Amino acid sequence: MEIGLYGLGRMGGNMVTRLVRGGHRVVAGNRSPGPVDEAVARGAVGAHTIEEMVSKLSPPRVLWSMVPAGEATEETIEAFARSASRGDVIVDGANSYCRDSMRRGARLQEAGYDFVDVGVSGGIWGLELGFCMMVGGLDRAVARVRPALDTLAPPNGWAHFGKSGAGHFTKMVHNGIEYG
């Protein structure tokens, strides 16, 4: 599979490495150049802007954001939507609020995109052990992202919980249990 992943912090960078090791073509993007250069050294294709990342992927694309929840995620998803084409899948891998994911899913669907929200758990151990992922979105969009989910997760380490917002809702419950 071919995938663009933007946001190369600890989790995003490790996800790129795991995807490359799994045989995927990954276009890795980030605001600062250092993490992009590191991803290229590990086998990814580098992109220093979202526009460049999108241009290096063949439609229909999968564009995955791993930036922090909140304004950074909002800005990244908006930039994806400005550069993407109808039929592309936009994935939010942040710990976003589930109602924001529901809103984004509805807005992006109206614009001709599919949206998948993925609550990601695994921290720095995800590179070697795999990332557990809680997924929300339309069946067709999840099916398009499935090869990446299968590579990123350990066996039986991801599940589709329903429509947009369900992944981040489940991750919120997960965090409440974990931190409680």
Q: One of 52, 74, 163, 178 is an active-site residue; which one?
A: 178
Sort 82 into a burial class: Cβ within 10 Å, 0-12 / 13-18 / 19+: exposed
Q: What angle do CA 138, 120, 61 make, to 5 degrees?
A: 50
Question: What's the rounded Cα separation, in Å, for the pair 35 and 40?
Answer: 9
Residue indicated by tokens 């800005």: 75
56 in active site: no
- The number of CA neighbours under 13 Å toward the Cβ of 142 is 18
171 in active site: yes
Rounded to 10 degrees, the C-alpha dihedral 48/14/161/98 comes to: -50
Which residues form the catalytic set? 171, 178
